[in-house]
A and B are shown apart, each in its own frame.
Chain A
Amino acid sequence: MFKRIIVLLAGVWLCAVPAAAQQQPEVAVIRAAVLRVDDPGLPPISRLDLPPEDLAFAGARLAIEDNDTTGRFMNQDFEAEEIATDPGSAGAELDRLIEDGIQFIVVLADDATTLALADQAGDRAMILNAMARGDNLRGTDCRFNTIHVAPSNAMLADALAQFLMWKNWPRWFLIEGSHPADTALADAYRRAATKFGARIVEDRVYEDTGGARRTDSGHVQVQKQMPVFTQRAEDHDVVVAADEADVFASYLPYQVWDPRPVTGSAGLVPRSWHPAMEAWGASQFQNRFEELANRPIREPDYQTWLALRMIGEAATRTQSADPQTLREFMLSEQFEVAGFKGQKLTLRDWDHQVRQPILLTTGKLTASVSPQEQFLHQISQLDTLGIDRPETECKFREAT
């Protein structure tokens, strides 16, 4: 009891008299929203990948806790409204949020929806893309009002390519799905192969014909289909799967005709985050997340956490709650944020992509982290991943 009183008193005191602003005990509120647009498509091929109800929102809650803890010392209070919606209602929800005065909106949606929402928001709000990986969103379809917290396909492909080249596995058997998103990802691998000197010795498309994808856990048909599908490929060192639609890649390991490792959408997978990550203080982050959410973290949680932490970091550094001030600071050269990845994360001014290391993960572990140290860069080694300044196709229209 006594102990609790001390804690309480200390807490009250902190709120009342932060040394930074003794004259103004008024608390400034910084508002944001997390807009998750759920795809009503088929379930994932592994039931382990079924999305939890609080996907992304749990990451948001941790970020708000983190921001508020710091905010106590700065007289700042952070809020994030959580909206789960579908593609049909996303636009209306966005308008409602903006009309309600929210100017920072973390969006978790597919490429097309993310772009549509960014256009709809215009200069009324800043979009923080925490899911869509399309390279077009950072290229020909880039928008000044959008910050890409999620890594791009090009970054993920380059991260894997660097590792495969370090392993001296330059001959790739690329297997891509038949959905447009699969093609976009496969394009990123084709680009990465050219960039780092790998050769795609065989390129096959796995047609999604529908059918018995989860029947009998998939193994009855798969055991016959996958070896047949992959036989008589040119000599290759490694299989690279591009399966954004989650149709076939997870069935490839151990079933391919030639005994070769599987990478890309299954096997060794490039990701922004992984629940087994322990280095660089990540253990503490995982502990805090799991205590709050009662489940291991997923990439959308991490990306949403990072998006909201960026807003919090901007508010701390500028000591401001003014959305325009925060927005300008986030887009400035001074901006940097820590994300448990062993180095500061910054923003590319040419396409508003967050620079970040990419984890190469197996089911249970982080096997490696790219950039690999042998790949050098004159400005930032992180710019060996993804689209660099000289090659960008992004031309921001007049700053909004």
Chain B
Amino acid sequence: MKHLLTLTLCLAAAPALANRVFVSNEKGNDVTVLDSETLEVIGTYPVGNRPRGITISPDGSELYVCASDDNLVRVFDPETMEEMHTLPSGPDPELFVLHPSGNPLYVANEDDNLVTVVDTKTHEVLAEIPVGVEPEGMGVSPDGQVVINTSETTNMAHFIDSDSFEIVANVLVDSRPRFAEYNHDGSKLYVSSEIGGTVSVIDPSTQQIAHKIEFEIPGVLPEAIQPVGVRVTSDGKKVFVALGPANRVAVIDGETDEVRDYLLVGQRVWQMAFTPDERYLFTTNGNSNDVSVIDVAEEEVVKSIPVGQQPWGVVVAPD
């Protein structure tokens, strides 16, 4: 009861706008839409076959979904969830990242060892960049100059120049790199290694690994600690790492790179997204078919919301 009261007070105190939260359900072939304020399900909408990566344009007008088994990116109106058009993505698109300006879109083609660059306005493929085996993680520097791709079987983070579409550096990391995320000022690049069980903190200026974050959870087998999604608060002070079948999200001090806490979430947690005000962090839990809601300031899980079958990705609409 007290907990409920606190929650209500918080809600009253912050006049945040409700944002739509979009969760791709890999096995359900649909997207579950949540309300970021009521934390209730608004609806579930079909989006094509095997939806995984999901993102939204900076102005909130276009929702992009990797329909992996359709070999294209489907674009939806985030309000109506009507399909507007599709984008060519190359085969088996898994994860993508938008340039900070909203164009172009950089897509990892998992089956074809390529990163495809697509113009979101003209819908044309601008380039196909050969990378390592099983490209997945996609990150972009805050200034949009460098795009990062991680290849899961080659075990590298590839640094791609966003003007020339050329690879300018390759950094070997631990096994099965899944995700790449810059911090706010571009001074650190976090790359998670699912099988290696670590997060490499790379200095983008030297392209060297500055530090490796390791995880240890009492009562959890080391093999079950499999880092995937990484999100950094805009002040760079808190880093959240989803630990897969360890069913935990690690909270890391963004300055010292020390692990501070582990938050228990649903089963097989992979991807995460903040609300624009960074009050909440949503996590997709693929084996328990739900989304956990983390209060970012309190570093506490406040709710879990059942969604569709095998939730994979999540994005929150901008204000």
Contact = CB atoms under 8 A, between A and B. Distances in A.
Interface of A: 3, 6-7, 10-11, 13-14, 18-20, 65-66, 69-70, 72-73, 281, 284, 287-288, 291, 309, 316-317, 336-338, 342-344, 373, 380-382
A281 B134 contact: yes
Given A69-B113, A316-B172, A344-B175, A6 B152 contact: no
Interface stretch (B74-82, B121-129, B258-266, B296-304): B121-129
A70 B135 CA distance: 11
Nearest to B152: A281
A10 B172 contact: no
B111 A338 contact: no
A213 B167 CA distance: 59
21 contacts: A3-B127, A3-B128, A6-B127, A10-B129, A10-B167, A13-B166, A19-B169, A19-B207, A66-B133, A66-B153, A66-B154, A69-B154, A70-B151, A70-B155, A73-B154, A281-B176, A316-B154, A336-B195, A337-B175, A338-B152, A382-B223
Nearest to B171: A19
Contact of B132 (A7, A10, A69, A309): A69
Interface in B174-200: 175-176, 195-197
B137 to A, nearest CB: 13
Interface of B: 92, 110-111, 113, 125, 127-130, 132-134, 151-156, 158, 165-170, 172, 175-176, 195-197, 207, 221, 223, 226, 245
B223 A11 contact: no
A279 B177 CA distance: 16
Contacts of B195: 336, 338, 342-344
Contact of B170 (A6, A20, A281): A20
Nearest to A62: B133
A349 B245 CA distance: 28
A174 to B, nearest CB: 31
A287 B111 contact: yes
Nearest to B158: A73
B176 A338 contact: yes
A70 B175 contact: no
Nearest to B176: A338
A284 B92 contact: yes
B113 A73 contact: no
Given A3-B125, A281-B176, A287-B92, 4 more contacts: A14-B167, A284-B110, A338-B195, A344-B195
A288 B170 contact: no
Contacts of A336: 175, 195-196
Contacts of A343: 195, 223, 226
Contacts of B221: 373, 381
Max chain B Cβ within 10 angstroms of own Cβ: one of A70, A309, A337: A70
Q: Interface majority SS on B: helix, strand, loop or mixed?
A: loop
Cβ-closest 4 pairs across A and B = A70-B154, A343-B223, A338-B175, A338-B195
Contacts of A309: 153
Contact of B128 (A6, A69, A73, A287): A6
Given A70-B153, A281-B176, A344-B196, A7 B245 contact: no
A7 B115 CA distance: 11
Contacts of A19: 167-170, 207
A70 B156 contact: yes
Max chain B Cβ within 10 angstroms of own Cβ: one of A10, A19, A20: A10
A70 B111 contact: no
Contacts of A73: 132, 154, 156, 158, 167, 170
A70 B196 contact: no
B26 to A, nearest CB: 10
Max chain B Cβ within 10 angstroms of own Cβ: one of A7, A288, A309: A288
B136 to A, nearest CB: 9
A14 B130 contact: yes
A10 B153 contact: no
A335 to B, nearest CB: 11
Nearest to A67: B133
A357 to B, nearest CB: 9
B229 to A, nearest CB: 15
B162 to A, nearest CB: 14
B169 to A, nearest CB: 4
Contact of A7 (B128, B152, B153, B176): B128
Nearest to B196: A344
B166 A10 contact: yes
Nearest to A71: B154
Nearest to A357: B223
Contacts of A65: 133
Contacts of A381: 221, 223
B195 to A, nearest CB: 4
B152 A342 contact: no
A171 to B, nearest CB: 30
A316 B133 contact: no
A288 B109 CA distance: 12
A338 B153 CA distance: 7
B306 to A, nearest CB: 21
Given A19-B168, A381-B223, A70 B133 contact: yes
